[in-house]
Structure 1
Amino acid sequence: GAVVELRELAQRGEWMAAELLAGLLASLGRVTELEARANASDAAARRHLVRVRDKPREPPSADQLNQLRAVADSGREAEANELTQLLFDAGDRFGLLAEVNAGTHRAAERYLALLASDSTVDRITVRTIRAYGLDADGRPADATTTP
């Protein structure tokens, strides 16, 4: 989810970074940047641009989320994965945080990716969360609050 770092690695020719960056840009709906990368001969960006153009970005309905949440709560990883992907694609930070607190599969990973992709979020905050986790209220924990 660290767009700046992924962009730097992709510029150096790291194919995995280019793939992750293109996927992240597509998920976040950053079509202009994805198009620019595709026009600069980035094969991963071209593939993800096709996906974005073929699939209009619509926020998930409350019913859809509730159905997925009910099945995900029973421990089904595929539905949990779909739920967290939908919340990530919609940019729903609070929805993802609720799933982190519920222990939903891949929610923490996607929550951190969403935070890291937001240029208004301080990088130190993201690093602190990665290192120490979150307090129950959703604020970054620190070394003094961790057992």
Structure 2
Amino acid sequence: MADPLEEMYHIYKEPIFRYLRHMCQSRTIAEELTHDTFLKAFKGYGRFRGESSLKTWLFKIARNTYLNEAGRFSQKNEVPFAEPERHERGITRNIETEMMVRQTMRRLTEKERTLLILREQCFSLNEIAAILQQTEGNIKVGIHRAKKRFREYYLEGDEGRI
């Protein structure tokens, strides 16, 4: 591939889509947000200064795209991102556990969800700090607190099932 934009798209399309799907929990909306993310990235590519990695820059655009879309929905008092998804490729999953995890993730703040999702996708603390424009120390503490809150919320929901 000679075109750097095409190469960027092929390398980062799936990770960006997975991040956005985790954030909004809707395949359809995640596809639209992924498309919007790359449109913004293509338009702004000439202004990319290389102060961070291309990956970090793209995920920052994806997060801002998600936040803008979520903000539009909240202004309309709509519930934006909660459509149920079909299971892909016939993979059998424990649906009850999956639903509990989704419900628990929805209870977290956007920042907590972002921290957990980016960490789960193997971003370094440094990369997450660049995306969220915070220090690594703040990111470590934020991840710890997000995990703790997730655990608390998950166990609250789990007690209701017993």
Q: Normalising by the residue count of structure 1, what TM-score does the alignment of the two structures yield?
A: 0.28
Q: Normalising by the residue count of structure 2, what TM-score does the alignment of the two structures yield?
A: 0.27
Higher RCO (CA 8 Å, separation ≥ 6 residues): 2
Q: Which has the higher helix share?
A: 2
